[in-house]
Amino acid sequence: MKIFLTGGSGFVGGALLRRLVADGHQVLALARTQSAAQQVEAAGAVAVRGDLTDLTSPDGTPWATHLQGVDVVVHTAAHMEFWGPDALFERRNHAPTLALHAAGVAARVRRFVLVSAASVSTGSQRRPVVDESTPEGRPNTAYSRVKLATERALLAAPAGSTELVILRPPFVWGAGMATIQGFVDAAEAGRFAWIDHGRHTVDAIHVNNLIAAVVLALTRGRGIYHVTDGAPMPIRDLLTPLLATQGIDLTRSRSVPLAVAAPLAAVLDTAARLLRRPTAPPLTRWLVSFTGRDRSYDITAARRDLGYEPSISFAAGLAQMTTP
């Protein structure tokens, strides 16, 4: 199969690239910089120089011409931060995704697979368990609001013969993850605290389980699917061993009640936005939602339509992170 991949030099995209090459697929990987091009070529892909915000290559030719003859476009690239204005994510994520999808449709690719985010329902939606039929509510970060707007726009966009699959992973973890660094920094600075002693349920997905779901989506399913490790747990049980792999001990961390954390986050969050702070305050509405409220995702649809079944357990993934 001939596959066009974005984000091939990133955490998820890089793991996917290696899997696709190992499976014998011909992979074209978009590379914004020379170093990214070298990285994807070293992994066995053909580098296509270009930027998602501009459908031309450095020499001025449209890089979208490389979509001709492609079977599947897999879009993993995204600017991901849990702070910033909507306009930033609309410019870096929303508009490029719609343009890439339109180019894929014009090239008559068979499938377009988008790696979105389960956080599109993190905000005003307070149900402890959600599935694809659950109303998303209003997400409480620009990243998630724009991801949701992008999903809706793609579902409504002209598609011709191109089938669309949208995967919604929650917290993606595994060796090489970067999202853990914020928790490490907070702990090292003495700012880390549990909410309600870390008892609230969270869901996560090991990067290799996410890659397995993407591989299945190359030929199966249509529409939106939540994909997780299928093992929701108290956030204390997730973060304590994860940060231990980075030399951080959370066992003696203090705790604050949700009744205190939620209003404090609202005040700090609002003040920082009004003052247009470039960085997030130490406590935000998103952080309270993630660590202070029960949330897991029903993956029945992914199991049924994609044949998805998580294969990497939490213990096995941790072992990979601690193996030299």
pTM, two decimals, is 0.95
Q: Which of the 8 DSSP states describes residue 90?
A: I
Helices 11-22 and 207-217, packing angle to 10 deg = 60
Burial of 26 (0-12, 13-18, 19+ CB in 10 A): middle
How confident is the model over 27-56, as a mean pLDDT? 92
Of 54 and 240, the one with more pLDDT: 240
pLDDT of 260 reads 97
For residues 292 and 232, is the Cβ–Cβ distance under 8 A? no
Please write the tens of the pLDDT for every residue from 161-204: 999 999 999 999 999 998 899 899 999 999 999 999 999 999 99
Domain ranges of the chain: 78-175+202-230+296-311
CATH for 78-175+202-230+296-311 is 3.40.50.720
Q: From the candidates 143, 225, 297, 308, which is the catalytic residue?
A: 143
End-to-end CA distance of the chain: 34
3-state DSSP assignment of residue 188: helix
* Rounded Cα distance, 95 and 93, in Å: 6
Res 125 pLDDT > 90:
yes
- Judge whether 297 counts as a catalytic residue: no
CB 163 within 8 A of CB 309: no
Rounded Cα distance, 277 and 269, in Å: 10
What is the mean predicted confidence (pLDDT) over 95-115?
95
Tokens of 316: 């096995």
Dihedral sign computed on CA atoms, order 253, 254, 257, 261: negative
- 51 has a pLDDT exceeding 70: yes
**In angstroms, rounded to a whole number, what is the distance separating the alpha carbons of residues 114 and 111?**
10
As to burial, measured by CB atoms within 10 angstroms (0-12 exposed, 13-18 middle, 19+ buried), residue 199 is middle
Q: Report how far residue 6's alpha carbon sits from residue 14's, in angstroms, rounded to the nearest whole number.
A: 10
Here the tokens at position 255 are: 């705790």
Stronger pLDDT, 268 or 61, i.e. the higher one? 268
In single-letter form, the type of residue at position 112 comes to F
Mean pLDDT to the nearest integer, 102-121: 96
Question: Which of 121, 117, 168 lies closest to 140, judged by CA?
Answer: 121
pLDDT attached to residue 124: 94
E strand or H helix that includes residue 28: strand 26-31
Alpha carbon separation from 85 to 23, 144, 164, 182, 280 (Å, rounded): 40, 11, 28, 19, 11
In this prediction, residue 142 carries a pLDDT of 95
**pLDDT of amino acid 64:** 87
Find the range with the poorest average confidence among 119-123, 192-196, 275-279.
Answer: 275-279
pLDDT score, position 57: 65
**Encoded tokens for 122:** 């993190």
Confidence of residue 122 (pLDDT cuts 50, 70, 90): very high
Q: How far is CA 39 from CA 57, 228, 307, in A?
A: 18, 28, 31
| Whole-angstrom distance, CA of residue 67 vs CA of residue 101 | 11
Query: What does the pLDDT average to over 109-137?
Result: 96
- Please state which of the ranges 20-29, 178-187, 194-203, 302-311 shows the lowest mean pLDDT: 178-187
Q: Residue 304: pLDDT above 90?
A: yes
pLDDT above 80 (res 256): yes
Q: What value, to the nearest 5°, has the Cα angle with vertex 320 and ends 317 and 323?
A: 150
